[in-house]
Amino acid sequence: MHEVMAAQGVLSAIIAEAEKQKARPVAARISCGMLNAINDEAFSFAFEAISKGTVCEDVKVTVEHKAIQGRCRGCKAIFEFEIHKPGCPKCGADNFELLPDAPLLLEEIEFETG
């Protein structure tokens, strides 16, 4: 169900931008964090189903999953958190905090040219 709601939001945003640009969209890229992740296949299926009959029919949407970030409390370095190597890769400290997960974002829309 989460993927259908996400697909509807992305579809609405692409349609609005297509109207503004007076152009036909052909591809889009979205990103999301690992904890806010969406299932790529379920999202693609939902987007394809709800975009039928719209300017977004046949638009190819790709999903980029962004890594969880951590911040070392000692040296303040920001790093990609790895579950198998928890700790700061810069100073080796294991005293760190996880930063908020990346939200679902529509990063880019590609429009037909010419």
User: In the predicted model, is pLDDT for residue 113 greater than 80?
Assistant: no
pLDDT tens-digit map of 75-86: 999 999 998 888
Please report, for residues 37, 95, 100, 105, the alpha-carbon distance to residue 3 in angstroms, rounded to integers and kept in the order given.
9, 35, 21, 13
Please state the pTM of the whole predicted model.
0.83
pLDDT value, residue 22? 95
- The structural domains of the chain, ordered by start, are 2-67+102-111 (3.30.2320.50)
Contact 27, 9 (CB under 8 A): no
Q: Which of 18, 36, 38, 34 is nearest to 26 (CA)?
A: 18
